[in-house]
Chains A and B, each alone.
Chain A
Amino acid sequence: MAVSVDEAVSTGPARDRTPPVRRRSGRGRSVLEVALLTVLAVVMLFPVLWMIETSIKENRDVYAVPAEFIGFTVTMEHFKDVFVGPDGGRSALSVAFLNSVLVAGASTVLATLLGVPAAWAYSRFAVKAKKDQLFFILSTRFMPPVVVVIPIFLMYRQVGLIDSKLGLILIYAAYNLPFTIWMMKGFVDEVPAEYEDAAMLDGYTRLQAFRRYTLPLLVPGIAATAVFALIFSWNEFVFAIFLTSSDSVRTAPPAIAGLIGGTTTDWGLVAAASVVFALPVLVFAYLVRKHLIAGVTLGAVRR
């Protein structure tokens, strides 16, 4: 799993300097290609489009039969409702979004802080039964959250982590750590150990050598790994719904799910909340896109 992800985001060793095959420009595309791509795009993007449309429709237009694709009245009411409560104060949803940012951010930082040094150690040092240890680490991801959530629930109740943001941060970090170690190990393996050897002979300690000369080369890998960890934590639903209950602690996924049900469902609000929920990851991935596709080393080692 980690290997395929790794391959998908790194452009491979730097000695491969052949430029990517140039795509034919838009004008050069055949009519058939354009038609097929359009069909594909419409099919893939329809749910997203529908979500965005619903979020800016008035409620009576949402239920209109036949559905109105164009020509409905545009309203921003739903987006206002996402952030502002009925009493004029902060809405429960906006609190949930803040919780999501905090929980996803903190758990990603924690998993990265623990995972990167671990990956470096597994890559660089002769560790006893290294393969078995790595397999054990990976095996903790074999079980889906829903299988372990009951025991976790019972343990959390014992230690008082139930219905707390810290509890969610810890479980997400624990869940992301194996993935971080595996993916980062691939990136560390790509950086020749000789840089550190050379730095140690220059007079640095092993940790200084890592920090000065290896860590900067790992930044693209760390960015890529962090994005995946962040997406997992941001989208996570099962742990969140089982381990939290109060509005002040809940993250966005269970909070949005909680909008559905009861006597009536405000579909406009659900759609608007979903749009707001989808945006941060998109923006973040866009910001680090350069790192996601950048190679790991610039290449000064002859092999």
Chain B
Amino acid sequence: MGTVAAHGLCKSFGKVQALDGVTLDVPDGSFFVVLGPSGAGKTTTLRAIAGLEKLDAGSVHLDGADATGDAPAERDLAMVFQSYALYPRHTVYENIASPLLARRCSSSEIAAAVERMSRLLHIERLLQRRPAQLSGGEMQRVALARALVRSPRAFLMDEPLTNLDLKLRVEMRTELTRIHRSLGATFIYVTNDQVEALSMADQVAVLKEGQVQQVGTPTEVYERPANQWVAGFVGSPPISLLACRAEGDRLVGAQGWTLPRPHWTTAEDGRALLLGLRAEDLSVEQRGHASLSGELYGLEPLGDRTVVDVRVGTEILKVKARPTVTGTPGERLQVTVDLDRAHLFDAGTGLSLPEAGR
């Protein structure tokens, strides 16, 4: 078993409200990712679940039992720190053995467990070294081994891949997913990298300024963002947002353009809206029934694709195109819009509008 439920977590540091009513329900065995920009309260959430922060308000339930006031040792959780926090005076072996030592396991049990872990994470050669003699990737593996060496209720991971170089990060991402599948344990994983979140998670909670914006599967968060902020934060290049309002069967832009009104929207006429368009749902190469005209503002070649910046009035649209696309700034362009995949938000509240039959 390993369910973690945090309800209404509040925590302030001086005048800064780090957590403002964070509620998360982590089901047993899931890979639960907490995603948000730096300063969103991700790490504080994790530390609160671990029992390392004293809460101003809220409760933490582990496997259904109230654990709010419990000491970290009583919660039976394992954590991987962003800094790894390997004990500098101790060897890799002693570092991995530490949780078992604290539980007074016999030395033969410890030896067997450490050996199993070091084989799983390919660090057999490093057991007699000290942390200062390890590379970043090796430290990360040792920190992971120290957490995985026992079977706690849940594993908490605080941006464990942030300090690795890109190639290693991609490798470890796959590795972590594999480990999660083979253990079947509950993982709570904090990151500011949306690629990590979308590729690894069963469930994503998007956090901003100490408040949960949305909880859902990666697809839900990407395809049906709860509000304008989530839409802007998840996805690269970021979603383009255009001010507009509905008028009869048309959408009229603040910059003077018009588009057919999407059939799925329930927005009443005259309400100030924001039209959200993702780069892959726009095209400068194909023709369609809905299009915007603008001028070429800039090209961003990214190897496998090129992002075309198109200026519509004073607003910039980011459009995904083939890497072979060319053009000169100032050139007139037609941008085809896939309105079936567009998003509409209330311009005042930023909330996604209710949809009918998409």
Contact = CB atoms under 8 A, between A and B. Distances in A.
Given A204-B73, A213-B87, A299-B132, A197 B81 contact: yes
Contacts of B47: 197
Nearest to B75: A201
B89 interface: yes
A300 B132 contact: yes
B102 A206 contact: no
A206 B71 contact: yes
A217 B132 contact: no
Contacts of A217: 88-89
Contacts, number: 90
A22 interface: no
Contacts of A38: none
A201 B88 contact: no
Nearest to A208: B102
B52 A197 contact: yes
A189 to B, nearest CB: 16
A199 B98 CA distance: 8
B70 to A, nearest CB: 11
B85 interface: yes
For chain B, the bracket of interface size reads 20 to 34
B132 A203 contact: no
A200 B88 contact: no
A201 B72 contact: yes
Contacts of B78: 201
A105 interface: no
B146 A202 contact: yes
Contacts of B163: 302
Contact of A302 (B84, B98, B102): B84
A291 B73 CA distance: 33
B40 interface: no
A194 B72 contact: no
Interface string B51-63: 1100000000000
B95 to A, nearest CB: 9
A199 B87 CA distance: 9
Contacts of B51: 200
Given A197-B52, A205-B73, A301 B132 contact: no
16 contacts: A14-B132, A197-B47, A201-B78, A202-B98, A202-B99, A203-B73, A203-B102, A208-B102, A213-B89, A298-B89, A298-B130, A299-B88, A300-B84, A300-B87, A300-B131, A302-B136
Given A197-B85, A198-B79, A300-B139, 9 more contacts: A194-B85, A197-B79, A198-B86, A199-B102, A200-B72, A200-B73, A201-B77, A202-B99, A301-B86
Interface of B: 47, 50-52, 71-73, 77-79, 81, 83-89, 98-99, 101-103, 130-132, 134, 136, 139, 146, 163
The 7 closest A-B pairs by CB, nearest first: A300-B131, A203-B102, A194-B85, A200-B72, A298-B88, A202-B99, A198-B85
